[in-house]
Amino acid sequence: MSEVRGAGASTPAAVTTSAALEVADLSAGYGPVTILRNVNLRVAPGEVVALLGANGAGKTTLLRTTAGLLRPSSGRILVGGQDVTRAPAHQRARAGLCLIPEGRGIFRNLTVAENLRLSAPSWITDADFDGVYDRFPILRDRRGQTAGTMSGGQQQMLALARATLAKPSLVLVDEVSMGLAPVTIDIIFQALKTVAAAGVALLVVEQYVQRALEIADSVYLIKKGEVTSIGDPSHAARTDLFAEYMGQSAESPASPDGRAAADTAAPGPTSR
């Protein structure tokens, strides 16, 4: 695997064609305000990468830019070796990329089955739908239920199911645990592991740092739009960088804002 260095590295990032995602020297922002600065990040096929950072660091901005919802000012984005830097979001989806946005991105007024049908490409077969229901049995039981009336955890399951239906090679996951109780977060992370075990690469932004470290093969930190790779998650606890970027060690429970409190902490506000 090629090494991609963080911002400030003296050598430019190597771009290989084999990565599920390669972000090279990417800068982006909102209007005149630059948020992401020369970001380099790589997700290998089937790899789970955690992107961690404090509130406002630019995590969602990086996911949105990668998914094609925000236009970069410079840099390159490759999905499965295909340069999608200037491609619209739907073309990136065809290249294998899928974003599960914060807030889940499901149609709350439609049923579970309608949500799945709407997100299915034309080539999806009945057997594919069955496969999704096999992976997420709770959704089979509730296929006729209006999505907005399900629990937060069930809605997140639906978001994951929608994401996997089109058989993506890369899923960008933004704060899946948002508003969920710890026991439900366990189930969602188990589902994420199942998705990853099927060979899908994941780029995971997560407020519960310890959970992210548990499923990650590799970790990147982001601070004020600058990204640094710290590699193996077991290094997170040992590196000063972690404390610098997160304001905490990997083993300490809370970030400065308290949001990334231990997994046993009270859940955040419900999304329902």
Residue 31 or 144 with smaller CB distance to ligand ATP? 31
The residue range among 5-13, 49-57, 143-151, 155-163 that interacts with ligand ATP, by the rule CB under 6 A, is 49-57
Does 32 participate in binding ligand ATP (rule CB under 6 A)? no
Does 30 participate in binding ligand ATP (rule CB under 6 A)? yes
Binding mask 234-263 for ligand ATP (x = CB under 6 A): ------------------------------
Of the candidate residues 17, 18, 55, 73, the single one contacting ligand ATP (CB under 6 A): 55
Q: What does R_g of the chain's alpha carbons equal in angstroms?
A: 18
Of the candidate residues 56, 81, 88, 137, the single one contacting ligand ATP (CB under 6 A): 56
Smallest CA-to-CA distance from 170 within 99, 225, 239, 116 is with: 99
Question: Minimum CB separation from ligand ATP for residue 187, in Å?
Answer: 23
Residue 88 or 103 with smaller CB distance to ligand ATP? 103
Does 73 participate in binding ligand ATP (rule CB under 6 A)? no
Long-range contacts of 109-115 (CB under 8 A, 24+ apart): 109/146, 109/147, 109/148, 110/146, 110/147, 111/143, 111/144, 111/145, 111/146, 111/147, 112/139, 112/142, 112/143, 112/144, 112/145, 112/147, 112/150, 112/158, 113/143, 113/144, 115/147, 115/158, 115/162
The residue range among 56-64, 191-199, 242-250, 260-268 that interacts with ligand ATP, by the rule CB under 6 A, is 56-64
Of the candidate residues 7, 21, 53, 156, the single one contacting ligand ATP (CB under 6 A): 53
Question: Minimum CB separation from ligand ATP for residue 220, in Å?
Answer: 12
Non-local CB neighbours of 108 within 8 Å, separated by 6+ positions: 146, 147, 148, 155
The span from the CA of 137 to the CA of 143, in Å, is 10
Q: Which residues pair with 221 in a beta bridge?
A: 52, 228
Residue 71 or 117 with smaller CB distance to ligand ATP? 71
Residue 38 or 61 with smaller CB distance to ligand ATP? 61
- Give yes or no for a contact between 56 and 24, defined as CB atoms under 8 angstroms apart: no
Residues contributing to the site for ligand ATP (CB under 6 A): 30, 35, 53, 55-61
